[in-house]
């Protein structure tokens, strides 16, 4: 009989290690990060070539973690200046507020005077021939922040000075997935040429269904790199779990059947993978060997994180059983393309919310009993 983990401090260590918060830029969090080497490489290449990037992924797929890991790597480069923002910091996401936040961070950087770019900016502000502008820069919150054209001049002056000194500037905005994509499009539509001219890179984390709106004309060439975060496979799931067990100094073993069952239930979403294991560890009867049955006992991971478009599609099917993705009515009601509907249907089917059956050449979808049961959780 396997011994049971009844030591409470072990349990707390485990639950801490399996937290589903994003991986942050702490030294210890670095140990948790797995996979995505290629995605990191292509993002860094984009920055080096002054291109903008969309990091595309579903809720909990690892966008913030990837971003933080990239920024961790960039801090080693003294010629790189990273301006990190979250869309949640903005009262309204628009051009004025975007520039305001960036200028404010640049001024802070110059005051701290520690990094290479901070020193450059500090020296630059001190030697400004325009005394009035110098005073404004040194003031805590210049009134001119409310004047868009002055704000833009500050932005351009500081950025160009850094660029003249070979500093790579990268502005990353996380949590774009939490705001309206049209606002994002409006913000960057208005400063597109300025960003191009200044040779800055912008990196945004977005949901798959935001991409088409954000990249509609005239921003169709603006975000030239899309880094699509892929689902965790068997190997990376195993690694994700093992790294956290090691961190908690746990001697628990997970057999391959348990990993496979977790993957089947979660579709390889790392946040859901962590949720499954946390539930296993929360149970009083955790043994030192976790097998498929332990995962099965967790029950279904209730996903209250379905993105709104997936919820809408699911709800449509509740009321319109046996619908097909090629129905024009369906696409029109959902306001997304038919191919996007087909993609979401396939995801909902994999997660067990819906089933499909073929009728002639047409594939029809309906909600499953388990999907209906889970409906209140969606
Ligand atoms: N590459 C990775 N290696 C290990 N763990 C990861 C990795 N990517 C994500 N995770 C884990 O998965 C969980 C979800 O990640 P994260 O918060 O980065 O996702 P997200 O896409 O930003 O989610 P949201 O849409 O809610 O902002 C976190 O607990 C994180 O630690
Ligand atoms: Mg995130």
pLDDT at 2: 45
CATH of the domain at 176: 3.40.50.300
What is d(CA 165, CA 143) in angstroms, rounded to the nearest whole number? 29
The token pair at 147 is: 């004047």
Q: For residue range 230-271, what is the model confidence (pLDDT) as tens digits?
A: 899 999 999 999 999 999 999 999 999 999 999 988 889 999
Lookup result for tokens 């946390």: 278
Higher pLDDT, 371 or 133: 371
What is d(CA 268, CA 8) in angstroms, rounded to the nearest whole number? 29
Q: Which atom of ligand 1 is nearest the CA belonging to 22?
A: 17
Distance 22 CA to ligand 2 centre (A): 7
Closest ligand relative to 178 C-alpha: 1
For ligand 1, whether the C-beta of 36 sits within 6 Å is: yes
* 17, 22, 240: residue to mutate for ligand 1 pocket, most atoms within 8 A of CB: 22
Of 224, 228, 190, the residue nearest 206 (C-alpha):
228
Please report whether residue 301 resides in a domain: no
Residue 115 and residue 215 share a domain: yes
CATH of the domain at 336: 1.10.10.10
Closest ligand relative to 20 C-alpha: 1
pLDDT at 222: 96
Which residue's CA lies nearest to atom 30 of ligand 1? 22
For ligand 1, whether the C-beta of 18 sits within 6 Å is: no
What value does the mean pLDDT take over residues 292-319? 74
H-run or E-run covering 206: strand 200-206
CA distances for 360 relative to 354, 355, 357, 364, 365, angstroms = 19, 16, 10, 10, 14
Structural domain boundaries enclosing 346: 308-377
Contact 52, 201 (CB under 8 A): yes
**Phi, psi (rounded to 5 degrees) for 369:** -60, -40
Cβ–Cβ contacts within 10 Å for residue 253, how many?
14
Please report whether residue 31 resides in a domain: no
What is d(CA 252, CA 10) in angstroms, rounded to the nearest whole number? 11
CA distances for 107 relative to 79, 81, 313, angstroms = 18, 13, 46
| pLDDT reading at 214 higher than 90 | yes
Q: For residue range 33-84, what is the model confidence (pLDDT) as tens digits?
A: 887 888 888 898 998 899 999 999 988 999 999 998 888 888 788 888 899 9
Question: Domain total for the chain?
Answer: 3
Q: Which atom of ligand 1 is nearest the CA belonging to 229?
A: 21
CA distances for 233 relative to 237, 262, 292, angstroms = 6, 11, 17
Q: How confident is the model at residue 3 (pLDDT cuts 50, 70, 90)?
A: very low
Contact 42, 129 (CB under 8 A): no
Residue 201 and residue 142 share a domain: yes
- Please name every residue paired with 287 in a beta bridge, in sequence order, or none if there are none: 4
């Amino acid at each position: 009989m396997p011994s049971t983990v009844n030591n409470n401090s072990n349990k707390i260590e485990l639950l801490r290690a399996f937290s589903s918060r994003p991986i942050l830029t702490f030294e210890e969090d670095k140990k948790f990060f797995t996979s995505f080497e290629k995605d990191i490489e292509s993002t860094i290449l984009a920055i080096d070539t002054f291109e903008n990037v969309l990091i595309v992924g579903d809720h909990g797929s690892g966008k913030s973690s990837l971003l933080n890991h990239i920024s961790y790597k960039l801090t080693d480069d003294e010629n790189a200046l990273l301006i990190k923002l979250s869309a949640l910091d903005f009262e309204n996401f628009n051009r004025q507020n975007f520039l305001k936040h960036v200028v404010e961070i640049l001024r802070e950087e110059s005051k701290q005077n520690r990094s290479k770019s901070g020193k450059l900016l500090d020296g630059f502000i001190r030697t400004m021939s325009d005394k009035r502008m110098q005073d404004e820069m040194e003031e805590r919150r210049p009134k001119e922040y409310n004047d868009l054209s002055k704000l833009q001049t500050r932005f351009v002056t500081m950025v160009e000075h850094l660029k003249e000194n070979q500093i790579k500037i990268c502005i990353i905005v996380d949590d774009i997935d939490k705001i309206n994509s049209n606002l994002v499009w409006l913000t960057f539509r208005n400063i597109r040429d300025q960003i191009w001219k200044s040779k800055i890179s912008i990196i945004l984390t977005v949901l798959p269904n935001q991409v088409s709106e954000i990249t509609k004309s005239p921003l169709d060439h603006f975000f030239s790199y899309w880094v699509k975060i892929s689902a965790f496979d068997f190997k990376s799931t195993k690694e994700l779990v093992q790294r956290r067990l090691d961190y908690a100094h746990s001697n628990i073993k997970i057999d391959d059947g348990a990993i496979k069952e977790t993957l089947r239930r979660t579709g390889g979403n790392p946040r859901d993978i962590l949720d499954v294991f946390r539930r296993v560890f929360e149970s009083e009867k955790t043994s030192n060997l976790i097998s498929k049955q332990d995962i099965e006992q967790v029950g279904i991971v209730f996903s209250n994180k379905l993105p709104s478009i997936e919820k809408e599609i699911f709800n449509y099917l509740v009321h319109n059983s046996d619908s097909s993705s090629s129905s024009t009515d369906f696409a029109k009601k959902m306001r997304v393309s038919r191919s996007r509907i087909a993609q979401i249907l396939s995801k909902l089917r994999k997660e067990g919310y819906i089933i499909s059956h073929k009728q002639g050449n047409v594939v029809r979808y309906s909600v499953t009993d388990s999907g209906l049961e889970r409906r209140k959780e969606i």
